Chains A and B, each alone.
Chain A
């Protein structure tokens, strides 16, 4: 009795006037009539839906274009944080003790420790993000004990179009092939001798780079850089000027050969104007002396890379061949700082300055073969030609030596984010002191965001 009353009340509300006018009996009859009508309508409706449903089930499942619904969520303060990555690197090295230098080359880097034993290599912290619709920013900071070196910090244009892009800040120069690679991307535990004598590790420019990609089917890229020239083969004093202390230009060409192979070749030129560029040499008496070079340093580099994988699918097996060649000419004045206090032979005003003119060259070639998933093996040969360095009046012995080195490595990568490497090397880069038996064990691990490497 409760429910019909409720229904009646509802109907009374919905249809107030006629319901109120009728008597009680009329109202009851009206309610019964409405109920049957309602039941009938409801059954018809139900039957209609069921037939339609059956029809739908028979017809092909043409899907409704399911537009992904954006998941609403509270905005957080860190949504715009840049991609953050960290590379962990460390090694164990077994080799002869003592300081090492590559004979016949004035080097920018000065390896005092002759590092061996267990060692933590620098940890690379990378941050990258789009700055706005037109620019992208990137920073790579090498963390060492008591120091953080800004390896790279640059912005790059995204939308200039017509194949043009501009980079500004501190960036790894586009010259050569290996120059743009950070140590974690190297295929060996150490740098090639060539890059060692040319740049120490690699050439970082503080300046601007303009690149243009030609609208051709074959990859054809041209680039030019203007930089401070504060890094070897330039120098701090050389960079302290109005204008550029160094400039470079490069051209790259590359293509595929079928599905399986691809290649890139390049030619680069670097010109720097170092002033008071410091290097360390041994004088005739075997005492360490600091030399300062002021003048011009011009370098040509040629590079070639060939990659192959069955069907162009490198996951399981692949091969990479890489070679680079350089010629460097330096022309200017060399002085040596007085080291008579240490018993050395460089005396101010006596024999401390002369013209320095040298043409040097060198090359390396390496092959890396991934013979099964996770496992690679590689061989590298390094050779330099010191080009008969003559120090003139300076009390430093002339050098005519051809440093060389063989390196053999094998590495294992449990995933694409981790790698363990064993390297054996026979190093003849220092005259009279061959380091015939270098063993290096190394790990390289990548945490967080890590963009793909260039070809």
Chain B
């Protein structure tokens, strides 16, 4: 009796899993983008939250279980998830989401990456020789990723191809208009000198024309120490910054320590969807980011 019930449950679970596309996004921004493009056609979850550093999570049992049932993985790539994603795909026993399969989508393959050094020497810290992976911080990248993702969704679910295309068109229109608005709003930020904690803001700076004058991390991925911060404080006297930017998943202590001594603001930007109360979707994310940046200028 119990065994029969067990298999019945499995059968039910398997059936519901095929009613809609099951999408596992590596980060909240890709979960949000997939929701924009697929709406009710996909069941979307994110492997990480805005308060988790996407470089450093583990292939937890719950994630392996979610990967097992996924039809599509939507991730950043460019080695951002190198510490856990390969383990996740291998442990999942899921042929659909293996690298190279249609169910494996990497955003980094569809945009031009910044900071491609090609240098792979760990004396330089925890670097990504293939380019900086924090690419969603420039909303213009979202447009090209959306185009590619909409095509991929249509490939996986051809019956609804027209819907994905229509939703993408709608997204492109709304995001294009929003970018125009943000560009205007951000005019006062152009050329503003800022200090960053990790290279999470390279794309944002590239888009808005922020001038990154200092990085709190002595080397990428290496936590700032008191000595390195003291050095930085000296440097900031010569090249002052207007504010210090950090993500919600980074410890506020180094930024606050420095901000207090340099007499500038430490600004926690939402970084991704869910990173602040206002950043409930991709539009709210940049609305809030710009509001906070402009707040930092005052």
Binding site for B on A (CB under 8 A): 59-63, 65-68, 133, 136, 156, 158-165, 211-221, 252-256, 259, 262-264, 307, 311-316, 373-374, 414-417, 451-455
B179 and A454 within 8 A (CB) = no
A24 to B185, CA, bound (A): 65
Please tell me which one of the listed residues B14, B52, B223 contacts residue A312 in the complex, with CB atoms under 8 A apart.
Answer: B52
Which A residues touch B126, using CB under 8 A?
Answer: 415-416
Which secondary structure dominates where chain A touches chain B?
A: loop
Among residues of B, the one whose C-beta sits closest to the C-beta of A128 is: B86
Query: B residues within 8 A CB of A255?
Result: 61-62, 65
Partner of B223, one of A156, A218, A221, A374: A374
- Taking A61-B140, A373-B251, A452-B87 as contacts, is the C-beta distance between A211 and B60 under 8 angstroms? no
B24-32, B110-118, B264-272, B277-285 - the one binding chain A: B110-118
Contact B111 A66 (CB under 8 A): yes
Asked whether, in the complex, the Cβ of B223 is within 8 Å of the Cβ of A373, the reply is: yes
- Measured between beta carbons, the chain B residues less than 8 angstroms from A164 are 93
B53 touches A455 (CB 8 A): no
Interface residues of B (CB under 8 A from A): 10, 13-14, 17, 49, 51-53, 55-62, 64-66, 68-69, 82-84, 86-87, 90-96, 98, 100-101, 109-113, 122, 125-126, 140-141, 143-144, 147, 176-177, 179-180, 183, 221-223, 249, 251
Given contacts A212-B93, A264-B61, A313-B53, contact A451 B87 (CB under 8 A): yes
Contacts A160-B93, A215-B17, A452-B84 given; indicate if A311 touches B51 (C-beta within 8 A).
Answer: yes
**Cβ contact of B222, chosen from A59, A136, A216, A415, cutoff 8 A:** A415
Q: Do residues B122 and A312 form an inter-chain contact, with CB atoms below 8 A?
A: no
Check A454/B59 contact, CB under 8 A, given A216-B65, A218-B65.
Answer: yes
Q: What are 18 pairs between A and B in contact, CB < 8 Å? A: A60-B179, A60-B180, A62-B179, A158-B95, A159-B95, A159-B98, A161-B96, A215-B10, A215-B17, A215-B68, A219-B61, A256-B62, A259-B52, A312-B49, A314-B57, A415-B122, A416-B221, A453-B58
Instruction: List, in ascending order, chain A residues with CB within 8 A of B62's CB.
Output: 218-219, 254-256, 262
Tell me the bound Cα distance from A371 to B255 in angstroms. 19
Contact A314 B58 (CB under 8 A): yes
Task: Give the tally of cross-chain contacts (CB within 8 A).
Answer: 160
A211 to B64, CA, bound (A): 13
B57 contacts A312, CB within 8 Å? Answer: yes
Q: Is the CB of A455 within 8 A of B93?
A: no
Instruction: Please measure, in the bound complex, the distance between the C-alpha atom of A217 and the C-alpha atom of B17, giving whole angstroms.
Output: 10
On chain B, the residues within 8 Å of A414 by CB distance are 222
Nearest CB of B to A101, in Å: 37
Q: Do B93 and A62 touch across chains, with their CB atoms under 8 A apart?
A: no
B118's closest neighbor in chain A, by CB?
A71
Q: Are A60 and B176 in contact (CB under 8 A)?
A: yes
How far, in angstroms, from A334 to B278 measured CA to CA in the complex? 72
In the complex, what residue of chain B is closest to A312 when comparing beta carbons?
B52
User: Is A415 a contact of B221 with CB atoms below 8 Å?
Assistant: yes
Q: Are B94 and A161 in contact (CB under 8 A)?
A: yes
What is the bound-complex CA distance between A383 and B101, given in angstroms?
A: 48
Which chain A residues border B59 with CB–CB below 8 Å? 452, 454-455
Q: How far is the CB of A56 from chain B (nearest CB, A)?
A: 13
When chains A and B are docked, how far (Å) is the Cα of A28 from the Cα of B271? Answer: 70
For the complex formed, measure the closest distance between the CB of A309 and the CB atoms of chain B, giving whole angstroms.
Answer: 9
Could you tell me the distance in whole angstroms from the C-beta of A57 to the nearest C-beta in chain B? 11
Which chain A residue lies CB-closest to B131?
A: A68
Partner of B90, one of A158, A220, A256, A417: A158
Contact with B56, one of A252, A264, A315 (Cβ below 8 angstroms): A315
A62 lies within 8 A of B176 (CB): yes
Question: Distance in Å from the Cβ of B6 to the closest Cβ of chain A?
Answer: 9
B94 contact set on A, CB distance < 8 A: 161, 163
Residues from chain A with a CB closer than 8 A to the CB of B249 are 311, 313, 315
Known contacts A65-B110, A215-B13, A255-B65; 9 further A-B pairs (Cβ under 8 A): A63-B144, A133-B100, A158-B90, A218-B65, A219-B62, A253-B61, A255-B61, A311-B52, A415-B122
